[in-house]
Structure 1
Amino acid sequence: MFEKMPFIIAELSGNHDQDFELAKAMIHAAADAGVDAIKLQTYTPDTMTLDIRHGEFMVSESDSLWRGSNLYDLYAKASTPWEWHKPLFELAESLGLVAFSSPFDLSAVAFLESLDVPLYKIASFEMTDIPLIQAVARTGKPIIMSTGMATLDEIEEAVATIRAIGDNPLTLLKCTSTYPAKIEDSNLLTMADLAAKTGCSVGLSDHTQGLGAAVAATALGATVIEKHFVLDRSAGGVDAAFSMEPKEMTALVEACRAAKAALGTVTYGGSDAEQAAKKYRRSIYVATDLPAGTILTEKHLKIIRPSFGLAPKHWPDVLGKTLSMDVQKGQPLAWDMMA
């Protein structure tokens, strides 16, 4: 499904702060950082919620970055104008990036199809929106789906919904839906279980601060890493607190690529690069000049480096043997020296 593993996505979200030039600058910076893809979010405040300013339409969680915000205003601030999508996608593609988005309703799917996006992302909060998942599945395109706080039953229902429609390549992302997420809430061991139970490839949508979770996920087999991106955290942005700046994203890309390379294959006996180093193992050497006929004892021999003599395991076999020739200090002991 992806040319590189892990496939690393820079999520722009609303960190462009409704500034088109900033959005373009973010894409340039993401490309320079070495990511594989940029992702937008496709919605309007009206496709997300109602313009009501009390009760459950307010963000009330005490630990939320957006506490006290009205949902409608928050989504208006964080949304990416639909007229930006085409030029931003074209810019990203010109820089060698895959460009796609998360649709949040059926109109967004239709709009993204008009732009012929190459794949789709289902956000974790939309995992239970079966009509949306069906619409995305009907495109026949690859799907990346965050699992967030979904139960296993909900995940299996979403996967079954996609499978009932087609054979879209499907990757499930472990995701902790808190913003920012605590590293200890990542529970990355879930990825292997998720892969085993669904038969899907897996990855990580990472809301933690830093790169530790992403590198660990790569080492555990993640095929996709998604991370929110911002040019400058101090300048703000709706997701800035858990987004990576360009230098940090570069470090994440390099660290994840290194972690993937380090996995290698199951290998015993040393790599090709290690073979030359085997000469520095120990072996049995003659420790002093000796004439033919000498009966070998511990004072005549040493187990030392390098490894051109008999292996140390033969030590008890050679003691008491008689030399059949004169030998000199520093010669590796060999069977043909002994009668």
Structure 2
Amino acid sequence: MAKLELDNGTVIQDYAKPYVIAELGSNHNGDMGLAKKLILQAKACGCDCVKFQSWTKDTIFSKKVYEDNYFLQDDYRNRDDYTLQEIVDEFSISEKQLYEMSELCQEIGIDFSSSPFSKKEVDFLADTCKVPFIKVASMDLDNYPFLRYIARKNIPIILATGLSSMSEVARAVESIENEGNNKIFLLHCISVYPPKFEDINLNNILTLRTMFPDYPIGFSDHSLGIEIPTAATALGASIIEKHFTLDKDMFGWDHKISADPKEMKQLTEACHHVQLALGSTKRIVNKDEIEKRLAFRRSIVAARELSAGMVLNESDLTLKRPGTGMPPEKLFDIVGRKLARNVEYDKIIEREDLL
């Protein structure tokens, strides 16, 4: 099972307790008061990390996108109350603000990171914020020059694989490895918000693990609810990433497909429980089960009134709980034996009852 460390010493391993990332993205809506509440709530929900997205109106879209005024989510298309450029500018987070959020995370004991969209943002995250990893968004998996630039920082890279063919994933991994960086984590991801269940293909987690056995494999979830990330944990996902909001009805891009605090707490607990329940491939009868044997298993019991001196037939005996007497496997050992004394109906047969 693949196992790697983040730069803060956190160990992430397939089939171990999953590392849960609350993807804040732009769900802070540019409001740092809201961002702080999101961080505090993510910590309270049991998340291991909060992740922002580092972009400005100059690093995420070209002029054409702003001219087309094209909004990614269906429910925000064809708006006339604001432009895409206005909302991108409003929802972006400055370096100063991002650094303040990283300090808050350090203060309360939750990991902090972000997805950069330019080399300058990579430099700030790696060199100033000292993040334990950099998350590369699915849209940049085929941005091989960008991947090589990040790799040269010699920082762990979490790489989302949405939008990409397996050959593109392999080329992305090779691009990072060629820079001498082997600290790679891969996330199975479907970049649809939300995806149809039949399109999620969680078994791709197993495919990625087979193709890249040296790297932990996780899951970046865009589905509604907690069932799918919980199932991913059952497949040994080492990382679970889920969008996080305080209110699904809040204005913004990703709130509707995000987990709210109630769901996120349920998700972290469910993933932890599932991972514990996976246990070992070795068959183990635990101490509690052994103690239950006496109450749950059966003993050899008299099926009717039995008299001393009679030779026991199978019809004279039956099997009932509790398991404090002779076990069922001894039934045919005592058939044909003589009774040393009378035995009442429904009484457990003792060894002393037999000659």
TM-score (norm. length: structure 1) = 0.90
Q: Quick check: 211-220 or 174-183, which moved more?
A: 174-183
How far apart, CA to CA, are the structure 2 residues paired with 1:229 and 1:302? 60
Q: 1:147 to 1:215 in 2, by over 3 A?
A: same
Supply the AA of the counterpart residue of 1:64: D
How far apart, CA to CA, are the structure 2 residues paired with 1:60 and 1:78? 14
Matches within 5 A, 1:165-204: 165-199=179-213, 200-204=215-219
Q: 1:281 Cα deviation (Å)?
A: 0.5
Deviations 1:275-329 (A, max 9, x none): 1111121121235564542201245322111123333233334222223455555
Candidates 127, 135, 145, aligned match of 1:121 = 135
How far apart, CA to CA, are the structure 2 residues paired with 1:102 and 1:231? 21
2:116 corresponding residue in structure 1: 103
Candidates 71, 74, 77, aligned match of 1:67 = 77
How far apart, CA to CA, are the structure 2 residues paired with 1:326 and 1:147? 76
Q: 1:66 to 1:198 in 2, by over 3 A?
A: farther
Candidates 32, 39, 43, aligned match of 1:31 = 43
1:90 corresponding residue in structure 2: 103
Candidates 311, 320, 325, aligned match of 1:304 = 320
Candidates 155, 170, 173, aligned match of 1:159 = 173
Three-state SS of the structure 2 residue aligned to 1:157 is helix
Three-state SS of the structure 2 residue aligned to 1:314 is helix
Three-state SS of the structure 2 residue aligned to 1:76 is helix
Matched, 1:275 2:290: yes
2:261 corresponding residue in structure 1: 246
How far apart, CA to CA, are the structure 2 residues paired with 1:71 and 1:163? 37
2:338 corresponding residue in structure 1: 322
Candidates 257, 262, 266, aligned match of 2:281 = 266
Matched, 1:132 2:132: no
Q: 1:60 to 1:250 in 2, by over 3 A?
A: closer
Q: 1:211 Cα deviation (Å)?
A: 0.7
Three-state SS of the structure 1 residue aligned to 2:154 is coil
Supply the AA of the counterpart residue of 2:199: D
Supply the AA of the counterpart residue of 2:265: T
How far apart, CA to CA, are the structure 2 residues paired with 1:269 and 1:202? 28
Contact in 2 for aligned 1:289/1:329 (Cα 8 Å) = yes
Deviations 1:66-112 (A, max 9, x none): 43477645543442222211100110121110001111121111111
Q: Where does the alignment leave 5 or more consecutive residues of structure 1 unmatched?
A: none
Give the length in aligned residue pairs: 337
Supply the AA of the counterpart residue of 2:51: K
2:232 corresponding residue in structure 1: 217
How far apart, CA to CA, are the structure 2 residues paired with 1:73 and 1:50? 14
Q: 1:187 to 1:277 in 2, by over 3 A?
A: same
Three-state SS of the structure 2 residue aligned to 1:236 is coil
How far apart, CA to CA, are the structure 1 residues paired with 2:306 and 2:332? 19
TM-score (norm. length: structure 2) = 0.87
Supply the AA of the counterpart residue of 1:88: M
Candidates 133, 136, 145, aligned match of 2:159 = 145
How far apart, CA to CA, are the structure 1 residues paired with 2:240 and 2:161? 14
Q: 1:329 to 1:260 in 2, by over 3 A?
A: same
Q: 1:59 Cα deviation (Å)?
A: 3.0
1:49 corresponding residue in structure 2: 61
Three-state SS of the structure 2 residue aligned to 1:303 is strand
Three-state SS of the structure 1 residue aligned to 2:145 is helix
Matched, 1:9 2:24: no
How far apart, CA to CA, are the structure 1 residues paired with 2:330 and 2:163? 61
Q: 1:258 Cα deviation (Å)?
A: 1.2
How far apart, CA to CA, are the structure 2 residues paired with 1:30 and 1:189? 28
Q: 1:60 to 1:109 in 2, by over 3 A?
A: closer
